[in-house]
Amino acid sequence: MSTNTQDIAGIGAPRVDEALAARPRKKRDISVRWIALTAVASLVGLYLILPTLLIIPMSFSDSSSLGRISGHWTLKWYQELVEKKDWARAAGVSLQVAALSTILATVLGTAATFGLFKLSPRVRAFMQGTSMAPLIIPPVIIGIGVYILMLKLGLFGTLQSLVIGHAVLSIPFVIVAVSTSLAQFDPSQEQAAAILGARPWTRFRRVVFPQILPGIVAGALFAFVTSWDEVVVSTFLVSPNFRTLPVEMWIQARTTVTPVLAALSTVLMVVSTLALVGMFRLQRTRK
Question: By C-alpha distance, which of 12, 85, 93, 64 is closest to 257?
Answer: 64
Annotate 97-106 with b (16+ C-beta within 10 A) or e (fewer): bbebbbebbb
* Residue 132 vs residues 29, 120, 169, 230: alpha-carbon distances, Å: 42, 18, 9, 17
Alpha helices in the chain (DSSP H): 2-53, 55-60, 76-83, 85-116, 121-131, 133-136, 139-153, 159-183, 187-195, 200-203, 209-229, 232-237, 245-255, 260-286
Q: What are the backbone angles phi and psi of residue 73, rounded to the nearest 5°? A: -120, 150
Q: What pLDDT score does 183 carry? A: 84
CB 98, CB 167: distance < 8 Å? no
Cβ-contact 150, 244 below 8 angstroms: no
Largest CA distance in the chain: 102
CB 143 within 8 A of CB 235: yes
Q: What predicted TM-score, i.e. pTM, was given to this entire model?
A: 0.75
242 φ, ψ (degrees, to nearest 5)? -145, 90
270 close to 198: Cβ distance less than 8 angstroms: no
The CA-based angle 256-260-263, given to 5 degrees, is 150
Amino acid (1-letter code) at residue 254: R
User: Which of 279, 262, 267 has the alpha carbon at shortest distance from 65?
Assistant: 262
Q: How far apart are CA 79 and CA 88, in angstroms?
A: 12
Per-residue pLDDT of the chain (287 residues; tens, 9 = 90+): 444 444 444 444 455 455 445 555 555 556 778 888 888 888 888 888 887 788 888 888 887 777 677 767 888 888 888 888 888 888 889 999 999 999 999 999 999 998 888 888 888 888 888 888 888 888 899 999 999 999 999 888 889 999 999 999 999 999 998 998 888 887 888 888 888 888 888 888 888 888 888 889 889 988 998 998 899 999 999 887 788 988 888 887 777 777 888 888 888 888 878 877 776 776 666 55
Residue 229 — φ and ψ, nearest 5°? -100, 0
175, 127 Cβ separation under 8 angstroms: no
Query: Is residue 220 within 8 Å of residue 106, measured between CB atoms?
Result: yes
Residues recorded for the chain: 287
Q: How far apart are the C-alpha atoms of 166 and 117, rounded to whole Å?
A: 25
Where residue 154 falls (left for φ over 0; alpha for ψ -120 to 50; beta otherwise) is left
